[in-house]
Amino acid sequence: MSKDSGDRDTLHQGKHLHLHSRKGWEFVVRPNAKGVVAVLAVTDDRFVVLTEQFRPPVGRKVIELPAGLAGDLPTQEDEPLVTAAKRELLEETGYEAKNWTRLTEGPSSAGLTSEVITFFHATGLTRIGDGGGVRGEDIKVHFIPIADVKNWCEKRERDGVLTDFKIYAALYLARSLTQLTEARLWY
């Protein structure tokens, strides 16, 4: 165990994660990223763009928003969050978006990690690539009518696929903050 520059002890340093302790509380830090971005991408005909991929920590496939790390690429440590969101949307889904709105930010799991996620709403989508991810990622892209997202996710859950809660949070925020006119998104 070693002391780092702050008031925390370093318990372990892996390639992508560091385990620290502060006043007896253990938590994880991503040393090579300045943040996490998640994108609620909605097509002009009101389909939500979702991704599906196997996630080793939970041992199952997970339905998610297009998302990823900001500032994790060499020479891009100061990458703006919206730039990372644009990059992740393109890499994972093959889409660019004309319009970007920052919805909010907050901790992903404040008792476990220092990670903060910034949500973006992307519209005016144009497909310019294949998507599917990079470097060994195997990402499947889904287009779900906005009014059917909850039912579709519940069906996938019955098939053993997990749904990332950030999907519902982003839909709620977009509905509240950008006035999506759908009367009922999932209830």
Question: Helix crossing, 149-158 with 166-178: angle to 10°?
Answer: 180
Query: Hey, what are 96's tokens?
Result: 């660019």
Task: Find, among 92, 174, 100, 106, the residue nearest to 134 by Cα.
Answer: 92
DSSP state of 24: T
Residue 58 is encoded by which pair of tokens?
């939970």
Q: Catalytic residue numbers?
A: 137
Q: Counting Cβ atoms within 10 Å, is residue 139 exposed (0-12), middle (13-18) or buried (19+)?
A: middle
For residue 60, the cross-strand partners are 55
The DSSP element (H or E) to which 176 belongs, if any, is helix 166-178
State the DSSP H helix or E strand holding residue 149, giving kind and residue range, or none if neither: helix 149-158
Q: Determine the Cα–Cα distance for residues 30 and 15; give it in Å rounded to an integer.
A: 9
Would strands 60-64 and 162-163 be described as parallel, antiparallel, or unpaired?
A: parallel
